[in-house]
Structure 1
Amino acid sequence: MEKKIFELSDLEAKKLGEFFKERREKLGYSTNYIEIHTGINKADLSRIENGKKKKINPIYLKQLSKILKLDQIEVLNKVGYIDNEYMPGGALFEEKYNFKLQKNDILELEKLQNDITLYFKDKKIDLDSKKKLLEAMTEVFYEIKAEEKK
């Protein structure tokens, strides 16, 4: 079955929902709090967090990113609104190292980027420093993968 544009697979929707729910709970926010401060009703939030909503309104993603203190670009990338080539690294690194990452490599890189992003979300680090750190980490990742391919 062909994937529909801007529609998450069951697995992608489940992972994204878990990601949002874990972050919301980590921050100590209730679903009522999210509804009051974003305008996203609890029923929609529940469907998102439980992986039942496959097409998510970009405005919801923007609001959730803000309230959950997440990078909007990364969230929009997770759901396919922004292609990987426009993310830190992307096509620039593919061109530099003359190869494309395999799907499992991309997933591994995304997990590393997400882990480092979550780590620094609660720390005092400016956005420019965070971007530089992500780019350096991505470059090291590509170097390792390029070496493995030899």
Structure 2
Amino acid sequence: MSEHAGVLGRIRRLMTKRTPEPLDVTRQDLVVVVESFDDSEACSTALDRGAQGAPHWIEADDAVLRHHLELPPAAVEEALALAGQDGYTAAVPSHPVSPGHSAADGGTPLSLILQRVQRLDAMHCAQEKSRMASLAQRLGGNALGWDALQPE
């Protein structure tokens, strides 16, 4: 009888085990735990640095991965539509980039931050970094870098 109770107990625990709530990008306690704005820096290097720093990146937890882009104004809607297919949303409204920058089409480029919640590791980070660089280039802009946020 105790053998059955053990099995039933495990089944009950599995059935009542809740999956954690997804990370809410609007949480007030999110802080940047890792960032890289150097094209030549490997994501693995940035993540290692983030794991050592304070506040530090926690590999086992979800993070808000944000990509910082500068795009011609006419390309912002297309960027949002394309990135939206992969679950990205705009983190903040688009705004003009500081003077000294120029867009490929001669207009004043806009700064756009695309974000999504995901478990962050070096391979997926590198894939997303490459994807965003490609997206920005196709639309006449630049990928400036990325950062990741987790609760403090």
Same fold (TM over 0.5): no
Q: Give the TM-score of the pair, scaled to structure 2.
A: 0.30
- Structure with bigger helix share is 1
Higher strand share: 2
